[in-house]
Structures are given as C-alpha cells and as structure tokens.
Amino acid sequence: MTKKKQILLIITGSIAAYKSLDLIRLLKKSGHEVRCIMTKAAKEFITPLSVASLSENPVYDELFSLKNESEMEHIKLSREADIILICPASADIIGKMACGLANDLASSVLLAADKPIIIAPAMNIKMWKNKALQRNVNQLQEDGIKFIGPDSGELACGEFGEGRMAEIEEIFNVLNSSG
C-alpha cells in the first residue's frame, strides 16, 4: 500500500487547469491530503470554490493576506507538504523559479521549499520550445526539480506538438512513487 502523502498542489494559469480538478479527486480518493495554491491566472480558468470543494481544504491565493501571513503561511505550507506539485505549470512560474523570484504566494512558497518539487508543464508548442523557456527548464533540472512531460498531442489552441500536460494518471503514479 502506498504511503499517504501531504501534497501541496500549485495550480497556475493554463487551459489545462481544469485537469487539476480530476487530479485532486483521484488523490483524495487514494487517501492523500491535498492543499492547494492558485495563482491569479489560474482563477481565470477554474474557481477556488471548485478546488476547495474537491480538496476539502481552503484555497490559498494571496501572499499578503492578513490572516494567512500573520501565521507565515508561505513557510508553513511549504513545510507541511511531503511533495509540492505544480500542475499545470505555466511558462511564468517556471521562469520565476529559475530566476529565484518570489513576488506572489506560489513563487514565495517555492523559494522557501525544502521538499521535492515536481512540475507538470502545459503550454503551446512555441512557448515550450522557446529558447528562454528551455534555459529555465534546464536550470531547474540542474537544481534537482523533476518534470513530468509535457507530452505531444493536440493542444488547446488547435496546434499539434509538445506542450500538452501529461495525463493525470501518469502524474498520479509519479506522485505515489515519489518521496
């Protein structure tokens, strides 16, 4: 039997954000505890209410929330997790991580993290193949960050190629075998 994990799921702005809802459902069904951070852009694709309902936990989204930051929530969230998963991971969060930026809750938690971080990218093929993005990916891989995907296939924009988020079952299996 797989050890039950405390998973911190960071959902960023991508059309693939809706797939994170299925992942939360699958993780909870397997007995894992799931806490979620949503970036401002993620909330353009799915609602915090949906995420909170499925995870059975509050959604965190503000770095400068009086209630949360009085408790140093960005440190607490990173410490309580066994694994931090960014799913879907946008080019923006990948760039912030590679440069060590911390200007919102998600990037601050990632900079403070002392746990394994797994990234499931999702974006257009031209964005994924962009030289700057690939430099950032290479830097993060050198830093020990694990990537799942992206896969090749039909993309939300109608183009075809690499950039499609890995399948939820694959992400779930990697989480179960990690840590």
Residue 79 belongs to a domain with what CATH number?
A: 3.40.50.1950
Residue 35: inside a domain, yes or no? Answer: yes
Burial of 116 (0-12, 13-18, 19+ CB in 10 A): middle
Whole-angstrom Cα distance, residue 98 to residue 92? 10
Handedness of CA 96, 102, 106, 109 (dihedral sign): positive
Q: How many other β-carbons are positioned within 10 Å of the β-carbon of residue 102?
A: 17
74 compared with 16, residue with greater pLDDT: 16
Residue 28: inside a domain, yes or no? Answer: yes
Calculate the average pLDDT of the chain: 92
Do the Cβ atoms of 88 and 19 come closer than 8 Å?
yes
pLDDT in tens, 34-72: 999 999 999 999 999 999 999 999 999 887 665 555 556
Identify the active-site residue in 36, 87, 99, 157. 157
* Measured CA distances, 174 to 83, 118, 135, 147 (Å): 11, 9, 24, 10
Record the pTM.
0.94
Give the pLDDT band (50/70/90) at residue 1.
very low
pLDDT in tens, 76-87: 888 899 999 999
pLDDT in tens, 127-151: 999 999 999 999 999 999 999 999 9
Nearest-CA neighbor of 50 among 39, 36, 40? 36
Residue 136: inside a domain, yes or no? Answer: yes
Residue 45: inside a domain, yes or no? Answer: yes
Q: In total, how many domains does the chain have?
A: 1
What stretches of 30-155 show up as alpha helix (H) in DSSP?
A: 48-55, 66-70, 73-80, 91-99, 105-112, 125-129, 131-142
Q: Is the pLDDT assigned to residue 155 strictly greater than 90?
A: no
**157 annotated active-site:** yes
Domain residues for the domain of 71 are 6-177
pLDDT in tens, 28-38: 999 999 999 99
